[in-house]
C-alpha cells in the first residue's frame, strides 16, 4: 500500500455515510465552486446534461486537489425529467410540487465521480439510474412531507432513497450507491489499483 491520502471534496452527509460504511480512512475538504455559473454556461452552450454532472464533479475535485496532496474525490448528481434539468428544491412547497410532478412517472439521476491528483483529473466515472415513482396517494405525500421535513431539500429529487423515500418508488434500475450520490464500487476499485486501500 502507498501513503496516498484519500480526500472527499464534498460536504454531503450521505456521501460521508457511504465512505464511512465502506470503512475508508479519509478526510473531508470542501472548497466551494460556483455550481450555478457552471450549469448556466454549459446549458447556454448546449452541453449534454450528463456532461454537466461530470463538469461539476471535476470542478469540486480539482479545486481541492490544487492545494491538497492525495486522491481527491469529487462527486455530483443531477436529475433529469422529461429532458429538463432540475436543481434541489428550495422550499417545502417546491418539494411537494416536484413529487407531484414525478408521481407515477420515470426520471433519471446522472451521477459523476471525478478523482483528481495534483490538480488534474486522473479517473472519472458516470452512472445513470432510472427511477419510477408509484402513483402514491395525496395522504401518503402529506404524511411523508410531515415526517421528513426540510431534510429532503438536500436532495435533487426531494427524497432520501436510503430511508423513507424508498416508499415513493415502484421500480428502480441502477446501482444503489449511485442513486445515493456516490458510485462506491468503481471508486473502491480505482483506490485499490492505486494502492490507496488494500486489494
Q: What pLDDT, in 10s, does the model give residues 82-136?
A: 999 998 999 999 999 999 999 999 999 999 999 999 999 999 999 999 999 999 9
Active-site residues: which are they?
76
Long-range CB contact pairs, 87-94, < 8 A, 24+: 87/39, 87/156, 88/153, 88/154, 88/155, 88/156, 89/152, 89/153, 89/158, 90/153, 91/153, 92/145, 92/149, 92/150, 92/153, 94/158
Grid coordinates belonging to 189: 476499485
- pTM of the predicted model, to two decimals? 0.94
**What pLDDT score was predicted for residue 60?**
97
**What pLDDT score was predicted for residue 3?**
83
**Segments of the chain scoring below 70 in pLDDT:** 1
The mean of the pLDDT values for the chain is 96
**What pLDDT score was predicted for residue 54?**
97
**What pLDDT score was predicted for residue 2?**
73
Amino acid at each position: 500500500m502507498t501513503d496516498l491520502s484519500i480526500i472527499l471534496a464534498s460536504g454531503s452527509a450521505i456521501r460521508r455515510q457511504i465512505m464511512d460504511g465502506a470503512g475508508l480512512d479519509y478526510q473531508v475538504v470542501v472548497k466551494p465552486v460556483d455550481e450555478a455559473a457552471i450549469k448556466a454556461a454549459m446549458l447556454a452552450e448546449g452541453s449534454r446534461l450528463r456532461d454537466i454532472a461530470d463538469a461539476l464533479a471535476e470542478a469540486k475535485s480539482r479545486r481541492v486537489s490544487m492545494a491538497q496532496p492525495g486522491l481527491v474525490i469529487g462527486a455530483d448528481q443531477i436529475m433529469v425529467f422529461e429532458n429538463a434539468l432540475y436543481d434541489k428544491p428550495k422550499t417545502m412547497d417546491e418539494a411537494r410540487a416536484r413529487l407531484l410532478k414525478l408521481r407515477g412517472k420515470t426520471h433519471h439521476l446522472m451521477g459523476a465521480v471525478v478523482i483528481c491528483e495534483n490538480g488534474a483529473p486522473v479517473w472519472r466515472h458516470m452512472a445513470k439510474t432510472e427511477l419510477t415513482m408509484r402513483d402514491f396517494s395525496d395522504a401518503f405525500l402529506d404524511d411523508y412531507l410531515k415526517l421528513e421535513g426540510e431534510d429532503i431539500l438536500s436532495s435533487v429529487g426531494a427524497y432520501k432513497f436510503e430511508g423513507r423515500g424508498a416508499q415513493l418508488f415502484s421500480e428502480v434500475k441502477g446501482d444503489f450507491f449511485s442513486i445515493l450520490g456516490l458510485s462506491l464500487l468503481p471508486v473502491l476499485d480505482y483506490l485499490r489499483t492505486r494502492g490507496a486501500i488494500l486489494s
